[in-house]
Amino acid sequence: MTISIRFLPDDVTVNAEVGESLLDVADRAGVSIPTGCLMGSCHACTVELDDGEVIRACITPVPPGKDELTINLFSDPTW
């Protein structure tokens, strides 16, 4: 199953497979999510989903059950 994933604030959309690593998807989109440990413990890779859920990209695969997903990188300087 393919999901359309949109990265903000760059506003880049790519297709991804359910279960694929979000870091891989971001890489393919040309979007760089900062990373540190790649094990879920440093929170460097924290991003926000369109429903407000905050996730760590390095330990989060593309979730099933959606046609599209928006991922907001915290590059807003007011955050």
Binding positions for ligand FES, rule: CB under 6 A: 35-38, 40-45, 56, 58
Query: Contact, 29 vs 19, CB < 8 A?
Result: no
Report residue 45 as tokens: 């890779």
Report residue 58 as tokens: 């390095």
**CB nearer to ligand FES: pick between 20 and 67:** 20
Q: How far is the CB of 67 from ligand FES (least distance, A)?
A: 26
Q: How far is the CB of 74 from ligand FES (least distance, A)?
A: 13
**CB nearer to ligand FES: pick between 4 and 74:** 74
Q: Which of these, 63, 71, 77, lies nearest to 27 by C-alpha position?
A: 71
